[in-house]
Structure 1
């Protein structure tokens, strides 16, 4: 069975999507529509902007979403997922690609999400840290014992967990985790504590937008970050999407469940190859590939 997976923030690169724009009339039409919806020329930033320009929150999330979704749409009949999943932001790409959300509604929600997260980051300084080489249970236990807000945020693959929270609590947790034998406990260059209780203001803001958006039944199950299980019910999809900003990304568990449900081949749709690397670390037997417009042109 074919699983299609969609990357999240951090996968962006300068020039992303330009090949699609230049070689596919459909892609060109969708990129121009995106410029109209967003009210600024995101294509200029994607195609010619610097790495610094692409880091701007209002740009990063829509840019990755657009690259992933437009690439999926240019694959035409070759895009036949038996199941889909996306890492954090990538869940929105997966929902559009599987028909649960329209392109326009997906883009509007992603733009609102980016701005709501930015506002939440500005309310209180916070950060995230990558922890390598420890069992998940050890990391969770250390987080529980630290004063202040610090939680497990991204279960990326066995031995790689990202924690999220207040700056002092993250720094303290990193010290303790190193004492417990972590190979690395490294504060990440991010703007805030994503997938933690500190995103509650953003969750509330996005909840209203999601509630007012029409969702359809997806063409195949989507394995959502919050539950790591196959979901096809629209109301469940909505509820999980709202919870996603303050809940952990259960990527390890999602991939394990997809494999248990029959996935043998994972195709990453969008910029970068981060998710393919994680899938291989979760299960070495799984086949992985990047979706490529060229081979389908």
Structure 2
């Protein structure tokens, strides 16, 4: 499947830009590529020039009078086309240095964004930033009654579980699982434990190693369990193969039942509590996550 390569080159000049000089100085570079030009002018607002190549690629050059110059170039994502784009960007950058010797400012070239490819490498973080992953394979992609479930392979993070566009867990993220469990500060030996969610099996896999009395995992989406037990085995081990073991059992219930169980647990918090906080880097999220451990305050 063909994809489009979107390249950018930004200049922030150190002084007021001479828009007309910059426009004329860059024209010859685009003309050498056989690109036709269309220029729009706004009084006191600079220029917008569009250059179109016969092969379908095009560039937008926006020149603002306050010193900001933006170049956006879109082309087919092929090896030959990529080299031509890099050559064009290099020439524009060199010419801009010549044209702005007295107003030297900041130059920023971002890695090209590949749009419309077979594999989507771009996923948002929880705080709205866009991250490009080194994803090279779609391992699993299905729609359940609740959500879209994707498992994608990353060279760095292993298989990554993505639920409705939200990065959920990767095989690299054992630190995340252990932080949820209290990072060794909690003693689960001989205790009853309830896990709400966790269909990836990560918490269940780790907590059964600590010899609890019984672990009950409640998950609303059977398809998450099915996908993870096949493609996330470095995370879940074999605990999802059979949802009943010596000290654990898994249940797949509907949303109403899950919320009911959750509200029941929240009811235990209506008393004085104390808490501790831990900050953990979750590798595949490229984020720091804050975990709180809450417990009932001891009576004086």
Tell me the TM-score normalized by structure 2: 0.22
The answer to which structure, 1 or 2, has the higher relative contact order (CA under 8 A, 6+ apart) is: 1
Larger radius of gyration: 2
**Greater helix percent: which structure?**
1
